[in-house]
Structure 1
């Protein structure tokens, strides 16, 4: 039996990736427990497992004393000298106490511990594999659904897609293949719990990394993402090299790169804006597609007042305040939007400043790239 057991352990290590040393330690502990239980022994014992010889032995550990009180845990100095004359009082002697029918007990204990440890080790391997995938995209297949979760098969484990993390514009069917963003990996007694999302801003960031080589290799950096899943998102990008156009890199030729992401997100509109360390420029860019006359910055409160032309006020605010809300999330600045006429009434800008700003806007409009402006256009605003 012993030889077969060792062969089984070698197989598990090779095929399942379970460390044989862990199995050996667990087996030793199980054999000690089985010995004490079956032979009603309170003695400290050690199990010696010799893989080369294919044998197992049980050794009781006894302390050498001058006067023996407990024969199970103690040994007289005279008895000890029969084993080795060099023993002294206080030393610990090991005596083999392997029972004749210990093989049967060992087989039962081995079966239990190997089964248990195989399950634990497999769960640990899966957990270690997927913990490294937190904050990453994975492909999966929808297996089943209940009232709380959609269960997505990721290969070795089922992930849970909560209803709150589903995009409102999507319908899900069993056997559908979907991309999901891994938000959390937890270990439990029943195995790893993996939670995924379709609405997390990180999903958008990872999709851009997959579609835009300049982001993947670090030439272009994603600075921030603001998302209202299924409806509209904003993403800010930056390139250290002034020769590289970060927005153009993300849009791609004829909008092909961003369109692939839009298709994956079932038509979710995406505004790509250039990041700037200057809050005036950054907030102005973030409010795209609207144009900005002036940005007043309160550094202490991290707040801005943005003045836009009267005819662009509704565009700057967006449907139900969405454009302004996403711009604030993207930049991390509070944004209060005022029309040009309102700002003049409150003395925030003069007539001359407004005229100068509008002249600059007219020039800027003439220089806009059609493909870039088209991607940022909200068709609903022009119906």
Structure 2
């Protein structure tokens, strides 16, 4: 394998960025294990590969003694002197023990090590690429389902959409193109493990950033997001420029922008409300589409009492309390809703 090996390692260094010396060290370590396995040697064996020629040699370290009791670890003084007359009892010397057929073993081992190291390097590259994209969204193809998990093809690797991160009642079919939010990226012995989500509030936020140029440009800011995936969400927005309507920008011409997001989320309803630094106004906006008559806040306990017309009570609370619950998540306030007649 000699010259061909060195040339191959140099090519790999250029193409894959894996240093030749790193590969040589790995091959030497693997050959050492292979020699011990195949020839039953003790732990005092070293394998050396010439960096220029690729020549492989195996050396056994032995102690110079008068009487040999363990041939694998000891050598007679008279044999040692033949190699170097300066040796004496107790010295440690290296004796070449390269087997005649070791070249074939070395070639096979080197190939396995190189392939393994290339795979590891490629896994590391993929990990570094995706770990820096945690909190981002990607478009992937539904590849298959395994034990209720959906495997998403991201091109260079796969991601896992576990049941708790799937939108309820959303069906995934092979070949479907969907957007997913990268929740977490972990390195494993088999490569990067990428967990993605369709339910994370961050997915909604990123979708608005993609669809609304004013958000991408920083003119409109997303202040908070509250989401019950597959059913309804609320998003609070604010404009840094007085002449720009943040809600209108997110809705888009004829509702085109928000409609694209609703379609991506399989019909999930999205309420876009205007953020306000004044808690009373923000809470009133958050309960949209309900009409609010009055808001009283207790900042010590972070509780808001909201008064609505009688005919607006069910709308303000929402089905199974959903509207009030989302408004509370959006604002960070505990909201107590009362009708006018209840108040009186």
Q: CA deviation at 1:328?
A: 0.9
Question: Is 2:314 aligned against 1:314?
Answer: yes
Residue-by-residue CA offset, 1:100-126 (whole Å, 9 max, x unaligned):
433223123223323333333333333
State the match for 1:273 in structure 2.
273
Distance in 2 between the 1:268 and 1:19 partners?
A: 51
Separation in structure 2 between the aligned mates of residue 209 and residue 299 of structure 1, nearest angstrom: 32
Closer, same or farther: CA 21–232 of 1 in aligned 2, 3 Å: farther
Distance 1:69 1:118 in 2: 44
Partner of 2:202 in structure 1? 202
Tell me if structure 2 keeps the 8 A contact 1:43–1:61: no
Q: Could you tell me whether the CA contact under 8 Å between 2:2 and 2:53 is conserved in 1?
A: no
Question: Is the contact made by 1:141 and 1:176 (CA closer than 8 Å) also made in structure 2?
Answer: yes
CA shift in 2, pair 1:218/1:88, >3 Å: farther
**1:246-304 C-alpha deviation (Å, 9 max, x unpaired):** 32332233333222212222332211122233322221221112222222222232222
* SS state at 1:143 partner: strand
Q: Which residue of 1 is the match for residue 52 of structure 2?
A: 52
How far the C-alpha of 1:314 sits from its partner, in A, is 1.6
Instruction: Provide the C-alpha distance between the structure 1 equivalents of 2:312 and 2:14, rounded to a whole number of angstroms.
Output: 67
2-structure distance, mates of 1:24, 1:120 = 15
Give the equivalent residue in structure 2 for 1:330: 330
Distance in 2 between residues matched to 1:173 and 1:254, nearest whole Å: 31
- Equivalences for 1:77-88 in 2 at 5 Å? none
CA contact (8 A) 2:6 2:53 kept: no
1:197: how far off? 2.2
CA distance in 2, matches of 1:34, 1:275: 68
C-alpha contact (below 8 Å) 2:180/2:197 kept by paired residues: yes
Distance 1:217 1:48, change over 3 A: farther
Where structure 1 has 5 or more consecutive residues not aligned to the other structure, the ranges are 346-383
The whole-number CA distance in structure 1 between the counterparts of 2:116 and 2:135 is 31
Given the alignment of the two structures, is residue 139 of structure 1 paired with residue 132 of structure 2, yes or no?
A: no
For the Cα contact (< 8 Å) 1:18–1:122, is it kept in 2? no
User: Structure 2 length normalisation: TM-score?
Assistant: 0.83
Once the two structures are overlaid, the 10-residue window that deviates more, 316-325 or 116-125, is: 116-125
Instruction: Tell me: CA distance 1:88–1:304, structure 2 relative to 1, closer, same or farther (3 Å).
Output: farther
Partner of 2:106: 106
Residue deviations 1:301-322 (CA, integer Å, cap 9, x gap): 2222112222221221112211
Q: Does the alignment pair 1:176 with 2:151?
A: no
2:261 aligns with 261
Distance 2:328 2:259 in 1: 25
Deviations 1:146-174 (A, max 9, x none): 45122222112232223443334533322
Q: CA RMSD in A?
A: 3.4
Cα offset, 1:205, TM superposition: 0.8
- Pick which of 2-11 and 148-157 moved more: 2-11
Q: Does 1:222 find its partner at 2:208?
A: no
Matched ranges for 1:1-383 at <5 A = 1-15=1-15, 18-60=18-60, 96-168=96-168, 170-343=170-343, 345=344
State the shift of 1:208 in Å: 0.8
CA spacing shift, 1:327–1:103, aligned 2, 3 Å? same
Deviations 1:212-237 (A, max 9, x none): 22322333322211112222110112
TM-score for the superposition, normalised by structure 1? 0.76
